[in-house]
Amino acid sequence: MWNYEKRLQYPVHIKTPNAKIAKIILTQYGGPYARNLERFFYLFKCD
């Protein structure tokens, strides 16, 4: 059995969120037709 603990390797502190850059990053993961975008959201979904 595994005990999964969701935490980052290094602490991340976001002072000011930037929606424009977040959209660009998600577009790069999704590609032109956003086929991989669902996989991205599945991997990094919030519990």
**What per-residue confidence (pLDDT) applies to 13?**
87
pLDDT digits (tens, 9 = 90+) for 1-23: 778 888 888 888 889 988 888 87
Give whole-number Cα distances, 23 to 5, 6, 10, 14, 30, in Å: 28, 24, 23, 16, 10
CB 37 within 8 A of CB 26: yes
- The yes-or-no verdict on residue 47 having pLDDT over 60 is no
**pTM for the full predicted model:** 0.40
**What per-residue confidence (pLDDT) applies to 43?**
72
Confidence of residue 42 (pLDDT cuts 50, 70, 90): confident
- 24 φψ region: left (φ > 0), alpha (ψ -120 to 50), beta (else): alpha
**What per-residue confidence (pLDDT) applies to 33?**
63
